[in-house]
Structure 1
Amino acid sequence: MIDLAVLDIAGTTVEEHGAVYVALEQAVRAAGGQPGAGDIQRWMGADKREAIAALLALPETDASLVGGVGRSAADASLVEATFADFRARLDHLYRERPPAPLPGVPEALARLREAGVKVALTTGFDRDVTSGLLKHLGWDEGVLDAMVCVDDVAAGRPAPYMIFRAMELTGVRSTERVLVAGDTTRDLEAGTNAGAGYVVGVLTGGLDAVALGRTRHTHLLPGVADLPSLLGLDRPAHPK
């Protein structure tokens, strides 16, 4: 049995129609970058400022810090301006096509928590973006045990720090009793780097089983809705 499920948001628990990566590509192109589809894919699940800096091919220096990476003042300013543009574009896309829980996810979260499993979400979004998204979903109260954003830790995925922070917030001490699930290779890398007992890839995002399966994992599932079954908890959360 596990004590904590640590789950990604976009593409894992929430259907947001790829808006994050559309907005990211648009913002980077508007700032002068020329990312291809493969470039965007490589930065799925990452800290968005870190992704922007990499996609703009900005050199590292010993100057200011942006997303934990040394950059010149001019480059730091460009990253921040591009990030602000990304957030504005994402907000517009969300208003045009609101995000929603993926099928079966609310029921799966309820079943996990009913069985005594803590549920935490982690994300490459900052706190402001995430708080608005959770409020829109109705997940800001009574649905989760913890929420960890990239600006809560020293480095985003594939570093394991968001997972460790979720453990700290929920009082879980053993990484072997933690399940990590996500739809990107960085989600799986973070879970492995944390030493999680379960590292689960889900196929509700932009990667198929072949692409996601190349990264070390313990299980591949169609989606988070299948986690209760994996854990032997697949009876209804509120049986009649």
Structure 2
Amino acid sequence: MKIEAVIFDWAGTTVDYGCFAPVQAFHDAFEAYGLHPTFDEIRQPMGMLKIDHIKTMLEMDSLEKEFQDVYQRSYTDEDVHHIYDIFEKTLMEGITQHTRIKPYVVETVQKLRIKGLKIGSTTGYTDMMMEPVLKSAKEQGYEPDCWYSPDATEHFGRPYPYMIFKNMMTLNITSVHHVIKVGDTVSDIQEAVNAGVYAIGVIEGSSLLGYSEHEYKCLDLNEKMRAIARVKKTYFNHGADAVIMNFSELPQLIERLLLEEDH
């Protein structure tokens, strides 16, 4: 396989182990609106454009019923925007606490660049949300060659493939068959599948796994293996081509794919 570029997601993939910045902000926004989603419900649409994420949650059976019980009516676009406004304010207040680069990211990106690969990125955040993330990541040694949020694609976020295509245009990539996308959510995988690129899911620190670094380390072996198996199955069920535990495994996987091209 010829590889020209690797496109990474942000929260849960390259920064913010466990993808906690948006999870907490969604939780606080819904609670402020009188609704009580579980953390599993919050994580299900993770990776989507955030306003689409809110709509998706409001259409879940339990939250749809709870909304009816609280407000005696169905939700409207006005409700979505009210929740989004609370979410955005809460996220921007807390996001700087969740920008630490995940293990092995900086070294892995350096190795990929030595191989001549270009580094792109996509996100479910808006441009404004990305500003503190980009600044912090750069200070820690990670800066992709380009990045796009749904703001650059007329607000068509994941699972639409357009952010990947914007990366490809900027990086002058010749074919979708020469691109790898790495992410930590179902919508990351769907984005890659819809773009026709090679899709890789990362397990440790992912939103799908849903643990902080400390929580993950404290799991007993059986719990850990069950959690890993669950995440791996979810990725493959949604079309992932490969799954890695963490970024340290990525250079070896790419080396293997490059060798396949030679044979």
Output the TM-score relative to the length of structure 1: 0.81
1:141 to 1:80, Cα distance in 2 relative to 1, 3 A: farther
Contact map agreement 2:55 2:80 (CA 8 A) in 1 = yes
Give the counterpart letter for 1:48 in structure 2.
Answer: K
Q: Report the counterpart of residue 226 of structure 1 in structure 2.
A: 249
Contact map agreement 1:120 1:144 (CA 8 A) in 2 = yes
State the shift of 1:139 in Å: 6.1
| Residue deviations 1:71-123 (CA, integer Å, cap 9, x gap) | xxx9444333322321222233334x342111110111122122211111110
SS where residue 123 of structure 1 aligns?
A: coil
- How many residues matched? 216
| Residue deviations 1:26-76 (CA, integer Å, cap 9, x gap) | 212322334233322221111101111232349xxxxxxxxxxxxxxx944
State the shift of 1:142 in Å: 7.8
Q: Report the counterpart of residue 70 of structure 1 in structure 2.
A: none
Q: Report the counterpart of residue 21 of structure 1 in structure 2.
A: 23
Q: Report the counterpart of residue 106 of structure 1 in structure 2.
A: 106
State the shift of 1:184 in Å: 0.7
Matched, 1:45 2:47: yes
Give the counterpart letter for 2:121 in structure 1.
Answer: L
Q: Report the counterpart of residue 58 of structure 2 in structure 1.
A: 56
Contact map agreement 1:188 1:201 (CA 8 A) in 2 = yes
State the shift of 1:141 in Å: 9.2
State the shift of 1:22 in Å: 1.6
Contact map agreement 1:109 1:143 (CA 8 A) in 2 = no
Shifted more, 214-223 versus 204-213: the winner is: 204-213
Identity %: 28
Q: Distance in 2 between matches of 1:107 and 1:202?
A: 16
Question: Which one has a larger percent strand, Structure 1 or Structure 2?
Answer: 1
Matched, 1:126 2:149: no
Q: Distance in 1 between matches of 2:143 and 2:115?
A: 14
Output the TM-score relative to the length of structure 2: 0.75
Q: Report the counterpart of residue 181 of structure 1 in structure 2.
A: 182
Matched, 1:85 2:108: no
**Aligned CA-pair RMSD:** 2.4
Q: Distance in 1 between matches of 2:148 and 2:243?
A: 23
Contact map agreement 1:28 1:56 (CA 8 A) in 2 = no
State the shift of 1:16 in Å: 4.7
Give the counterpart letter for 2:32 in structure 1.
Answer: A
Q: Distance in 2 between matches of 1:139 and 1:169?
A: 23
Question: Which one has a larger percent helix, Structure 1 or Structure 2?
Answer: 2
1:140 to 1:169, Cα distance in 2 relative to 1, 3 A: farther
1:211 to 1:142, Cα distance in 2 relative to 1, 3 A: closer
Q: Report the counterpart of residue 203 of structure 2 in structure 1.
A: 203
State the shift of 1:150 in Å: 1.5
Gap runs ≥5 in structure 1:
59-73, 234-240
Give the counterpart letter for 2:169 in structure 1.
Answer: E
State the shift of 1:165 in Å: 0.9
State the shift of 1:2 in Å: 0.7
Gap runs ≥5 in structure 2:
61-74, 209-230, 257-263
Give the counterpart letter for 1:165 in structure 2.
Answer: K
1:57 to 1:185, Cα distance in 2 relative to 1, 3 A: closer
State the shift of 1:128 in Å: 0.8
Contact map agreement 1:203 1:222 (CA 8 A) in 2 = yes
Contact map agreement 1:28 1:55 (CA 8 A) in 2 = no
Give the counterpart letter for 1:201 in structure 2.
Answer: G
Q: Distance in 2 between matches of 1:109 and 1:169?
A: 18
Shifted more, 47-56 versus 76-85: the winner is: 76-85
1:86 to 1:194, Cα distance in 2 relative to 1, 3 A: same
Residues 158-173 of structure 1: pairs in structure 2 closer than 5 A: 158-173=159-174
Shifted more, 128-137 versus 74-83: the winner is: 74-83
